[in-house]
Structure 1
Amino acid sequence: MAAFLQLWGCKSEGQIKTGDKIPVFSLQDQDGKTFDVSTVLGKQPLVIYFYPKDETSVCTKEACSFRDSYQDFQKYGALVIGISSDNVASHRSFATHHNLPFTLLSDPKNEVRKLFGVPKTFVIPGRVTYIVDKNGVVVHEFNSMRDGEKHVTESLAALQKLK
C-alpha cells in the first residue's frame, strides 16, 4: 500500500517538509543567469514550486495562475520561483509566451529536485510547492499533480499566515 501511495505523489522518505530548512542551491534562470538562493535567504519569503514540464496543460495553467496572482505575492514580499528540468531556452520561451514575471530555474539533472526530495508520480516529475519564510524554513507545502491552480491559493493562504 505504501508503494501505491508514493506512486500517486505522497511524501517520499527524504522529502523536505514543514519545519525543515531548505537546502542552499544555485541554478540558471530563464535568462541564463545564475540564481543562488542564499542571496535571498534572510530577506524575503519564497514560493518555490517544482513542476514537470514547460508548455504542458496543467503546468501552463499553474504558471499562468501564479502570473495572474503575482501582485498578491508582491504584497507579501514573496519571491516566486518555478523549477523544472527544462533547459534555459525552453524556460525563456515559456516565460515569454505566457508573460511570466517570475523566475524559472533550469534543473536539467534534477539535482535540486532530489535535494528537496520531490516525489515522482510513475515516471512524471512531481508537482510540489514549498512556502518558505525569510529564514529559509518551510512553513507550508502542497503536493498535487492535477490541480495546478490550487498551488497558488495554498501559497497565498500560507503567506497570509506569515504576516
Structure 2
Amino acid sequence: MTQKHITWQAIISLMMALCLTPVAMAQLKPGATAPAFNAPAALAGNTFTFSLVETLKTGPVVVYFYPKAFTSGCSIEANLFAQATEDFQALGATVIGVSGDDIETLKKFSLGPCGGKFAVAADLDRTTMKAYQATLFFSSEMASRISYVVTPDLKIFFTHASLSPDQHVSSTLAAVKRWREQTK
C-alpha cells in the first residue's frame, strides 16, 4: 500500500465515524434549564402559536427535533409519536415536534405523518434548535434527531439523541412515566 492510499483510508474512516456519532456530541443534559420558546405551529392542519411555558402549565412536554418533514426517518418518527399520543396524554404530557420547515409544509405534515394527533413547530431562524443544541453537526440549518422531556419547572428531565427514529417514542414515554412516579 502506498502512503497516499493509507491517508485516504484514514480520512474515509474518520468521516464515517463522524457521520455515525454526530448526535452524541452536543445536547442539553438532564437537570439543565430548558430554553423557553414560542413558535408558529400546526396541529391537524391548523396554525397557532406554541408556547412552551404555557404548555408546561398542564404537565411535561416532549420536545423532539427532527431534520425535515416528509423524509422517511422523520415520517416514521412522527407516525410513532402519533400512535403513542394517547399514552402521552394519559400521563398529562404534550408532544411537540420542531424542525426548520416552513409553516405551510408543517400544516401538511401535521395532517399526514402526524395524523392530526400532535403539533409541529417551525423554527425558521433556528434559534430554538441552537438553544437546545439540536442542530446537525455538519449543518446548522437542519435539526438533529434529538428528544427532550421537559418538566413543568422548565428542567430537562431526559434526553434521547439518535439518528435512528425508532427509540425516541418509547424512551421519552418511559421517561415521562418515571417522572410521574417520582412526583407522586
**TM-score of the superposition, structure 1-length normalised?**
0.89
Q: Which moved more, 1:74-83 or 1:111-120?
A: 111-120
Structure showing greater Rg:
2
Alignment CA distance shift 1:45-1:114 (3 Å) = same
RMSD over aligned CA atoms reads 2.0
The within-5 A match list for 1:3-152 is 4=18, 8-12=22-26, 15-30=27-42, 31-98=46-113, 99-123=115-139, 125-145=143-163, 147-152=164-169
What letter matches 1:16 in structure 2?
L
Secondary structure of residue in 2 paired with 1:33: strand
CA–CA distance in structure 1, aligned partners of residues 86 and 117 of structure 2: 10
Which structure features the higher share of helix residues? 2
CA–CA distance in structure 2, aligned partners of residues 5 and 86 of structure 1: 23
Q: Tell me if structure 2 keeps the 8 A contact 1:27–1:107.
A: yes
Deviation digits for residues 60-90 of structure 1, max 9, x if unmatched?
0000000011111011110000000001110
The structural deviation recorded for 1:5 is 8.0
Structure number with higher relative contact order (C-alpha < 8 Å, ≥ 6 residues apart): 1
The structural deviation recorded for 1:125 is 2.9
Q: Tell me if structure 2 keeps the 8 A contact 1:73–1:156.
A: yes
**TM-score of the superposition, structure 2-length normalised?**
0.79
The structural deviation recorded for 1:119 is 4.0
What letter matches 2:85 in structure 1?
Y
Unmatched runs of 5 consecutive residues or more in structure 1: none
Q: Which moved more, 1:78-87 or 1:89-98?
A: 89-98
Alignment CA distance shift 1:38-1:161 (3 Å) = same
